[in-house]
Chains A and B, each alone.
Chain A
């Protein structure tokens, strides 16, 4: 995956709560191979006149600023592929679906969680100055909006490390190979029913 360190790019506001992964990637595209790219599937059934992502004023947006519970619903990682292949590197919201946020981190898409009022204010700034850029500094854990005020955000240290390094965590896990083997041996004695007999 692509590493994420800093980013300065236009941001697009989306005043919609509970955007689920079916909206991000309609189910009929789930059988498509990734090789052809998922960018064209992003919000496919929402692309109507007036939809902010289609507004030329927000062309080139790489940051999405939206409302609570973004990415709820299905675990489809294709929803993240659609955003990444559609050019997005960062989503800002008051809350995220847990599975979506985990999938995002595995694909170099940064999810920034900020308080509801802060995100609402950021969306208003972007509506008032369409096409304005935001700057995200992951090592410093700050996001600076059009008003120039840096906002601090929290992030899991492990997620931060993986994003900055663009790390494949299977490689990291395999460093714990001995611990996994030891667990399996002990568990086979303690809970012999775990491996199905049939």
Chain B
């Protein structure tokens, strides 16, 4: 008997079903549960019900959302923010959880820290009360964001009720042009299928352009799956993945690592596996992208002009476009490359890894930023390595601030805000109204594009600047 061909998602899903109900709901076993300061509601719920954490050894707490970017001194100046950080520490301590706090040498954004520490592995089910948990799918894990009540359910039972999602495969073949990054690729995907284009689906990214991405690039792609509405994004693990994991702190070692790799090699989708939806893109068609509106689906090539609502036939849609343009302070037909910016932010779980900082530094080396800006590395290890390579000096010499790791200006709850009415070139994941601060205007783009915008003071096609690859050894020695 030949086994039914299965996709990567189906293999991981099937391996975690503990029980099924006649109505199709499955009780899924959860291998990793990450918590952050926002988890206080969920701790309150289990405490109220008198429940304990079922598997503390699979549960990890990370301070990232509220940690200050400008100082690691305690106490944190704002008492409400300080309370969020200490409450997580107290809850983790009380339940015996590993806690990566403000002064931990591994501290960072949970979606940067977990892969870096070898906590994210292929074939795992991973949840966190944060929508960008989709990031971890870059390793071939099934990883998705959940709400507070579900967090409390996982704390108490290490399981979650789920209906099996539909599947979508997004295949990107071909070779992208210069300065076209993983960020440009995923923005193009979101623009192509829409902000709810993958709702109810788990997406598998496949094709030669995906295989060619580094782990950092794959993390960026899977991170923004949620911006297309996807339940999760996944990429089949391969030698790039295994090489990245080997030797990391919490990863399996020696014979156990070899045994794990042998298992992980079986996870890739079978050749005959089928998907509910298939989408294809050619990497050669991609260009450095920016968004013009207040949804990531408004990504366009930087060479484009602001679209005209007058050309939209549906009056409701046209009204929504006008509302976005009004919020963004843009007029139809304006060339995006002529749009002046007020500041830049380089950071977030989307684009604060070493590769991202290197790309931004390569553009800014020898240049001055003409607007203020903040660069926030994704973790302490990223920060240390960037400093060893001299990247921090490239940024500070250009006039940008170099911050301490955390979510910072992406979500703006640690006090880092874009002032009202200001326009920010940002490497983050969301350009929603008010996301970076009340009435802040966000344009999403890659790190190299944000660096180019910093250097010129306007949205800029990085391909028009003379950028040479960075010799990091030379920088570190200087």
Interface residues, chain A, with chain B CB atoms under 8 Å away: 15-18, 20, 22-23, 26-28, 30-31, 34, 45-46, 67-69, 72-78, 80, 95-99, 102-103, 106-107, 120, 156-158, 169-170, 173-174, 176, 179-180, 183-184, 187, 191-198
15 contacts between A and B (CB under 8 A): A17-B320, A20-B432, A23-B433, A34-B44, A45-B439, A69-B229, A74-B411, A75-B129, A157-B23, A158-B21, A180-B27, A183-B29, A191-B260, A194-B58, A194-B121
In the complex, chain A residues whose CB is within 8 Å of the CB of B44: 34
Cβ of B18: which chain A residues have Cβ within 8 Å of it?
176, 179-180, 183
Query: In the complex, which residues of chain B have a beta carbon less than 8 angstroms from the beta carbon of A170?
Result: 49, 51, 152-153, 156-157
Q: Tell me the minimal C-beta distance from B269 to chain A in angstroms.
A: 20
Given known A18-B195, A196-B250, A197-B252, contact A75–B146 (CB-CB < 8 A): yes
Residues from chain B with Cβ under 8 Å of A74 in the complex: 130-131, 411, 430
Q: A22-B430, A73-B432, A176-B27 are in contact. Are A195 and B58 (CB under 8 A)?
A: yes
Is the CB–CB distance between A23 and B434 below 8 Å?
Answer: yes
- Verify if B280 is at the interface (C-beta below 8 Å from A): no
Pair A103/B163 contact, Cβ less than 8 Å: no
Asked if B70 CB lies within 8 Å of chain A CBs, one says no
* Docked complex Cα distance between A98 and B144 (Å): 10
Instruction: From known contacts A31-B413, A170-B156, infer whether A107 and B149 are also in contact, taking CB-CB under 8 Å.
Output: yes
Are B295 and A193 in contact, CB atoms less than 8 angstroms apart? Answer: no
B257's partner among A26, A27, A193 (CB-CB below 8 A) is A193
Interface centre among A23, A31, A120 (most CB of B within 10 A): A31
Contacts of B27 in A (CB 8 A): 173, 176, 179-180
Q: Flag if A193 contacts B256 (CB, 8 Å).
A: yes
Which residues of B have CB within 8 Å of A98? 165, 199-200, 229, 231
Contact of B149 among A72, A77, A195 (CB under 8 A): A77
Q: Interface-forming stretch among B2-10, B76-84, B171-179, B356-364?
A: B76-84
Chain B residue numbers with a CB within 8 Å of A23 are 432-434
Question: Nearest-CB distance from A68 to chain B (Å)?
Answer: 6
Interface presence of B145 (CB below 8 A): yes
Kindly identify, within residues 135 to 160 of chain B, every residue whose CB is under 8 Å from any CB belonging to chain A: 144-150, 152-153, 156-159
Which of A77, A173, A191 is close to B148, meaning CB atoms less than 8 Å apart? A77
* Given A99-B146, A193-B257, 15 further pairs, Cβ under 8 A: A16-B320, A17-B320, A18-B195, A27-B413, A34-B44, A75-B131, A77-B149, A96-B199, A99-B131, A103-B147, A157-B24, A158-B25, A179-B19, A180-B157, A196-B119
Residue from A15, A26, A30, A196 with most neighbouring chain B CB atoms (10 Å): A196
User: CB-nearest residue of chain A relative to B253?
Assistant: A197
Residues of B within 8 A of A69 (CB): 194-196, 199, 229
B244 within 8 Å of A (CB atoms): no
In the complex, the answer to whether B430 meets A20 with C-beta atoms within 8 Å is: yes
Q: Is the CB of A103 within 8 A of B149?
A: yes
State the 4 A-B residue pairs at the shortest beta-carbon distance, nearest first: A103-B147, A193-B252, A77-B147, A106-B149
Contact of A198 among B124, B153, B249 (CB under 8 A): B249
Is the pair A173, B159 in contact by a Cβ cutoff of 8 Å? yes
Does B316 have its Cβ within 8 Å of any Cβ on chain A?
yes
Interface residues of B (CB under 8 A from A): 18-19, 21, 23-25, 27, 29, 31, 38, 41, 44, 49, 51, 57-58, 66, 80-81, 83-84, 118-119, 121, 123-124, 129-131, 144-150, 152-153, 156-159, 161, 163, 165, 194-196, 199-200, 226, 229, 231, 249-250, 252-253, 256-257, 259-260, 263, 294-295, 297, 316-317, 319-320, 323, 411-413, 430, 432-435, 438-439
Q: How far is the CB of A106 from chain B (nearest CB, A)?
A: 4
Max chain B CB contacts within 10 Å: which of A20, A69, A194? A194
Determine the distance from Cα of A28 to Cα of B253 in the docked complex, in whole angstroms: 42
Given A27-B413, A179-B27, A196-B119, CB of A120 within 8 Å of CB of B316: yes
CA distance A99 to B51 in the complex (A): 24
B320-A194 in contact (CB<8A): no
A158-B132 Cα distance, complex, nearest whole Å: 26
A164–B152 Cα distance when bound, in Å, is 21
Contact of B231 with A34 in the complex, beta carbons under 8 Å: no
Closest to A95 in B: B196
CB distance from A58 to the nearest CB of B (A): 19
B124 engages A194 (CB within 8 Å):
yes
Verify B38–A76 contact, CB threshold 8 A: yes
